[in-house]
Structure 1
Amino acid sequence: MTKVLIVETNVTRYQGTKDPTGLWLGEAAEFVDEMQQAGIDVDYVSPKGGFVPLDPRSMKYTDESIMRVYENADFVERALKNTLRPDQVNPLDYAAIYYTGGHGVMWDFPDDPQLQQLAMAIYRNQGYVTSVCHGIAGLLNLKEADGQYLIAGKTITGFTTAEEIIAGKKSVVPFLNRDVAEKHGAHFKKKRFYREYAVTDGRLITGQNPFSVRAVAKQLVAELQAV
């Protein structure tokens, strides 16, 4: 049975501030909705396991499909209360890994060795590595066995500098996605701020912003169904 592993943050605040952050709800819920429609099962993992906070701002950007997932007891239990720890996950069980966003991921995704091992194991098993928005943070430092960055030479996208400025967070984020992506050899592409955009390059699928979740999910489903 095809399964996808969804990665979420444990970070509750913008580091160095009192401001709350966490998972951007729609970036999990819309993806889950698309997987359910395609008959694909999902599991949820976070760097520490257990509780996943919601970015309170994300609750302002919901629709009926997002709320339907959010109100589902299974989603609440497995995606928000009791996510798996990386050491509880067998990467061979998954056809893809999907990194959700919300600003919190910028602190706990990039350098987590266990998440990196999971992602690369899935990728080496001919699986897909996917992300949306700030979830690109989970891809930026992934390395092949020879030490080369996974994203080197690949076309990818993620939350842009213009979008950080509009969100009012450019001064508090620890890095800018495009800067690190290009430093690590990627071809970073983007569209106008807050427009849907997702790109597939081999077995990497990335989306620019919260409005790109379903585009990422649909591209992944198409790839999985073509295998």
Structure 2
Amino acid sequence: MKKVLVVLTNTIEYKGTDQATGLWLGEATEFVDEVTKAGFEVDYVSPKGGFVPLDPRSFKYTDKSTMAIYSSSDFQQRALTNSLKPSEVHPEDYQSIYYTGGHGVMWDFPTNPELQSITRKIYQQGGFVTSVCHGIAGLLNVKDDDGNYLISDKKITGFTTAEEILAGKRKVVPFLNEEVAKMHGANFQKKRAYKEFAIQDGQLITGQNPFSARAVARILIENN
């Protein structure tokens, strides 16, 4: 059975503000909907394990399948209440890892050494490293055994600077994903703001924005 490790945030608010953030719900549920229909098993991990908050704005963009997964006892328990700690994960069990978004990930994905280690091991064993939207933050600082950035010289995408400006969050995020990706040698690709776009380069599969989760899933499925 193919297994995917889905990475979720523990960050509750934009740091330095009283604005709530967290997981962008559809970026998890839409991906999970696609891969489970294709016969994949899914586990959930977060930097600290346990509780995963939801970005309240993400409920404006739900559909029937999203709400079905969100309301399931499995998702409520294994994703939102009792997500795994990185120390509880065995990378050899997974064929791929998927980093979800929501602005919260900007604070707890980029500098987590345990998640970076899991990602590197899955990649080294031939697995796929995938992300959507702000989830690209989890890939920005991952390095191979030679100390090179995993995304260097790779075509990738993620939430763009233009989209961050349109979202009204440019001044509250700690960095811009597009800028850091380019600094770390990535060939950053992008399409029109807030339109579905996903791209594959070898074992890397990335989606640009919240409307790209299913596209990432479909590419992953095609490769398995």
Q: What interval of TM-score do these two structures reach, taking the shorter chain for normalisation? A: over 0.9
Q: Which residue of 1 aligns with 2:47?
A: 47
Following the alignment from structure 2 to structure 1, what is the Cα–Cα distance between the partners of residues 37 and 43? 16
Q: CA deviation at 1:16?
A: 0.7
Q: Which residue of 2 aligns with 1:167?
A: 167
The residue that corresponds to 2:154 in the other structure is: 154
Give the ranges of 4+ consecutive aligned residues of structure 1 lying more than 4 Å apart after TM superposition. none
Q: Distance in 2 between matches of 1:208 and 1:65?
A: 21
Q: Which amino acid aligns with 1:9?
A: T
- Partner of residue 211, structure 1: 211
The one-letter code sitting in structure 1 at the alignment partner of 2:201 is D
Runs of 5+ unmatched residues, structure 2: none
Instruction: Please report how far the alpha carbon of residue 109 of structure 1 lies from its aligned counterpart in structure 2 after TM superposition.
Output: 0.2
Provide the residue aligned with 2:114 in structure 1.
Answer: 114
1:70 aligned residue: 70
Q: 2:27 aligns to what?
A: 27
Local SS of the residue matching 1:182: helix
Aligned pair count reads 224
Deviation at residue 54 of structure 1 after TM alignment? 0.1
Q: CA RMSD in A?
A: 0.4
Distance in 2 between residues matched to 1:186 and 1:165, nearest whole Å: 21
* 3-state SS in 2 of match to 1:92: helix
CA distance in 2, matches of 1:16, 1:202: 38
Residue 36 of structure 1 and its aligned partner are, at CA, apart by 1.3
| Deviation string, structure 1 residues 22-53 (Cα, Å, up to 9, x no partner) | 00000000011001110100000000000000
Q: Is residue 29 of structure 2 the alignment partner of residue 8 of structure 1?
A: no
- Percent identity, aligned pairs only, is 66
**TM-score (norm. length: structure 2):** 0.99
Secondary structure of 2:126's aligned partner: coil
User: Which amino acid is the alignment partner of residue 201 of structure 1?
Assistant: D
SS at match of 2:10: coil
